[in-house]
Amino acid sequence: MVYLFVGTGQAGSALVDEVFAHEGIRIEAAPLALNSTVRDLENLSHIDDDEWIGVSETDGLVPGTQAGFEEVVTGGFGRRPRRANDVMERHGQQLVPMLENRFGEDGNVPFAFVFLGLGGGTGCGIAPHVVDAIRRYAAGDVKVIAVAVLPNTQESVHVDASEDDETVSAGRQASNAVYGLDRLEETVDGIMLVDNQRLGYEDAAEGRFAEYNEYVAGSVVDLVSGPVVERIDPGEYDEIDAPIIDIQDIVTSLSFGAGPDGEPGYGTIGRSIEMTKSLPGYFLPLIGDQQVDAAELAYLAQAKQSVDDVSFGDAKKAIGHVRAPRQYIADPEYQIEISEVRRRLNEHCSEVNLGMVPTSRNLVSCTTVYTFERTDLNRIREIEEIAETYEAA
């Protein structure tokens, strides 16, 4: 049994690469990166070439270890997702045997994350086909969550479209995003959104993308990694007054309904961290432990949500996950008031799922996800309006 973390396109693959920078994640998860530009794949630090699949207009899907890979996976799609979609319409059937070759023919994949950027071409165009292939490979018995990056629609972007440089308007990026979301809704169980416009208000935003990817990846890892990754026996922690979050809890919190009538919800994710040791505590044992304010931890996780302009009162569901060292679970002197995290979540919605897991790290993290219906997110409405104006011009 393995969980799949699949990156599609430049943005999606970069996020998966950052996920696998976390020690221990490969215990229960495996990466895969699909992209149409070899240069972007070569920039990955934690995903090897036997975990690459190239997307080529001339050769279809190409394994990363195939001789001449760099000669056929060269172009990219110039932020034209429909071109990428056309390639997958012709060649997408190649992906299932590639999954079988990589992960075994039994299709024992109960859960998958598919990461993509919505403003560009490759990820936005191929992601639904990738989801369909994962479902065929797993014989349908798989839950799939998309992690989708919204474009910054405040300004146009300059891109290298393989043969010549061009400027892509904010309107076209918005149109791509709507196209991508409409198609994702038909294939996935839930959608977690990351908004690049959160960086648009900062100076030197281009230099912050790596940091932002690290933040998003850390949030995902904290949410999905439990005692297996930490190599900890939860049975030793009878004092935990919240259950351990599992994958099904995440899926339930990010979707509405079940079965054929179910619909994906739209989640925003946030994470706050507080170190549990002062500087002297890292050098001298048994000193330096610091109190952690659970209410402040939950507040910061909410304030750092991954989507711009969120009205939390519109949230329909929420999930929270706290990771903390043993003494912050069991020792009355340092014990975190987990009820304060629940209270913060319950301020906005009644359906709340909360978990807590021990960690061997000297920090406490609080990761929260608020789930909305698409029509309740101001940011998506803004993107839809920009796309409509662009398409009418």
Q: What is the pLDDT of residues 233-268, one digit of tens each?
A: 656 666 665 677 888 899 999 999 876 778 999 999
Q: Are residues 25 and 86 in the same domain?
A: yes
286 backbone dihedrals φ, ψ, rounded to 5°: 70, 10
pLDDT category at 164 given cuts 50, 70, 90 is very low
The answer on 27 and 161 residing in a single domain is yes
Domain identity same for 27 and 175: yes
The pLDDT tens digits of the residues spanning 277-318 come to 654 444 445 555 678 888 999 999 999 999 988 999 999 999
Tell whether the torsion through CA atoms of 174, 176, 177 and 178 is positive or negative.
positive
Residue 281 lies in domain: 258-378
Domain membership flag for residue 362: yes
Q: What does pLDDT average to over the chain? A: 87
pLDDT of 371 > 70? The answer is yes
Stated pTM of the model: 0.91
Q: CA 226 to CA 218: how far, in whole Å?
A: 13
pLDDT tens column, 26-72 = 988 999 999 999 999 999 999 999 999 999 998 999 999 999 999 99
Spell out where the chain has E strands.
3-8, 29-35, 52-56, 60-63, 111-117, 143-150, 157-160, 165-168, 190-195, 255-256, 263-264, 266-275, 317-324, 351-358, 363-372
Q: Is residue 391 part of a domain?
A: no
Please indicate, yes or no, if residue 263 is contained in any of the structural domains: yes
Q: Are strands 29-35 and 52-56 parallel, antiparallel or unpaired?
A: parallel
* Mean pLDDT for the stretch of residues 201-223: 75
pLDDT exceeding 70 applies to what percent of the chain?
86
| CATH code assigned at 298 | 3.30.1330.20
- Identity of the residue numbered 191: I
Do 219 and 276 lie in one domain? The reply is: no
The conformation of residue 281, written as its DSSP 8-state character, comes to: G
Residues 275 and 329 in one domain: yes
Q: From residue 153, how far is each of 119, 173, 244, 270 by CA, in Å?
A: 9, 7, 38, 21
Cβ partners under 8 Å of residue 284, min gap 6 = none
Residue length, the chain?
393
Confidence at 360, pLDDT banded by 50, 70, 90: confident
* Burial tier of 196 (Cβ tally within 10 Å: 0-12, 13-18, 19+): buried
218 located within any domain: yes
**Tell me, what's the pLDDT at 2?**
81
In 3D space, the residue among 241, 237, 222, 238 whose CA is nearest the CA of residue 339 turns out to be: 241
The answer, yes or no, to whether residue 231 has pLDDT greater than 70, is no
Q: Are strands 266-275 and 263-264 parallel, antiparallel or unpaired?
A: unpaired
Residues 95 and 193 in one domain: yes
Q: In total, how many domains does the chain have?
A: 2
At residue 343 the predicted structure's pLDDT band, cuts being 50, 70 and 90, is very high
Tokens encoding 204: 């030197």
On whether residue 181 sits in a domain, the answer given is: yes
DSSP state of 113: E
Residue 390 maps to a domain: no
In-domain check, residue 317? yes
The encoded tokens of residue 50 equal: 């036997």
